[in-house]
Homo-oligomer: A and B are copies of this chain.
Amino acid sequence: MPTFNIQLFEGRTAEEKRKFVEAITRTTCETLGCEPGSVDIILTDVKRENWATAGKLWSEQK
Protein backbone atom coordinates (compact mmCIF):
# COMPACT_ATOMS: atom_id res chain seq x y z
CA MET A 1 0.00 0.00 0.00
CA PRO A 2 2.66 2.58 -0.68
CA THR A 3 1.27 6.11 -0.66
CA PHE A 4 3.43 8.87 -2.13
CA ASN A 5 3.22 12.54 -1.32
CA ILE A 6 5.48 14.34 -3.74
CA GLN A 7 6.19 18.05 -3.49
CA LEU A 8 7.62 19.68 -6.60
CA PHE A 9 7.85 23.14 -8.06
CA GLU A 10 4.72 24.21 -9.92
CA GLY A 11 4.91 24.46 -13.69
CA ARG A 12 4.72 20.82 -14.80
CA THR A 13 2.23 20.12 -17.60
CA ALA A 14 -0.53 17.52 -17.29
CA GLU A 15 1.39 15.41 -19.80
CA GLU A 16 4.58 15.48 -17.72
CA LYS A 17 2.61 14.51 -14.64
CA ARG A 18 0.88 11.70 -16.53
CA LYS A 19 4.21 10.16 -17.60
CA PHE A 20 5.78 10.75 -14.21
CA VAL A 21 3.13 8.95 -12.13
CA GLU A 22 2.96 6.11 -14.64
CA ALA A 23 6.73 5.59 -14.48
CA ILE A 24 6.92 5.93 -10.69
CA THR A 25 4.16 3.37 -10.25
CA ARG A 26 5.83 0.89 -12.60
CA THR A 27 9.19 1.32 -10.86
CA THR A 28 7.56 0.86 -7.46
CA CYS A 29 5.83 -2.36 -8.46
CA GLU A 30 9.02 -3.75 -9.98
CA THR A 31 11.23 -3.01 -6.99
CA LEU A 32 8.78 -3.64 -4.14
CA GLY A 33 6.76 -6.39 -5.77
CA CYS A 34 3.32 -4.88 -5.25
CA GLU A 35 0.19 -4.44 -7.34
CA PRO A 36 -0.29 -1.20 -9.32
CA GLY A 37 -3.72 -0.79 -7.72
CA SER A 38 -2.10 -0.44 -4.30
CA VAL A 39 0.01 2.57 -5.32
CA ASP A 40 -1.40 6.04 -4.64
CA ILE A 41 0.49 9.18 -5.63
CA ILE A 42 -0.49 12.69 -4.62
CA LEU A 43 1.42 15.57 -6.20
CA THR A 44 1.67 18.97 -4.55
CA ASP A 45 2.65 21.90 -6.75
CA VAL A 46 4.75 24.26 -4.66
CA LYS A 47 5.28 27.91 -5.66
CA ARG A 48 8.88 29.09 -5.62
CA GLU A 49 7.88 31.76 -3.11
CA ASN A 50 6.87 28.97 -0.70
CA TRP A 51 10.07 26.88 -0.78
CA ALA A 52 13.32 27.95 0.85
CA THR A 53 16.74 26.34 0.90
CA ALA A 54 19.55 27.78 3.02
CA GLY A 55 17.17 30.44 4.31
CA LYS A 56 16.35 31.85 0.90
CA LEU A 57 13.12 31.49 -1.06
CA TRP A 58 13.57 30.00 -4.53
CA SER A 59 11.72 32.99 -5.95
CA GLU A 60 14.75 35.01 -4.84
CA GLN A 61 17.54 32.62 -5.79
CA LYS A 62 19.58 33.75 -8.79
Q: What is the chain B residue whose CB lies nearest that of A48?
A: B1
| Cα distance A18–B55 in the bound complex, in angstroms | 8
Asked, given contacts A5-B4, A8-B32, A20-B31, whether A51 binds B41 with beta carbons under 8 Å apart, the answer is yes
The one of B7, B18, B19 that contacts A2, using a Cβ cutoff of 8 Å: B7
Instruction: Tell me the minimal C-beta distance from A31 to chain B in angstroms.
Output: 5
| Cα distance A51–B45 in the bound complex, in angstroms | 12
The one of B18, B43, B58 that contacts A60, using a Cβ cutoff of 8 Å: B18
A interface residues (Cβ-Cβ under 8 A, vs B): 1-9, 12, 14, 16-28, 30-32, 36-37, 39-46, 49-60
Could you name 15 residue pairs across A and B whose Cβ atoms are closer than 8 Å? Answer: A1-B53, A16-B31, A16-B32, A21-B55, A23-B27, A23-B30, A24-B27, A24-B55, A25-B54, A27-B27, A40-B40, A40-B51, A40-B53, A41-B53, A44-B50
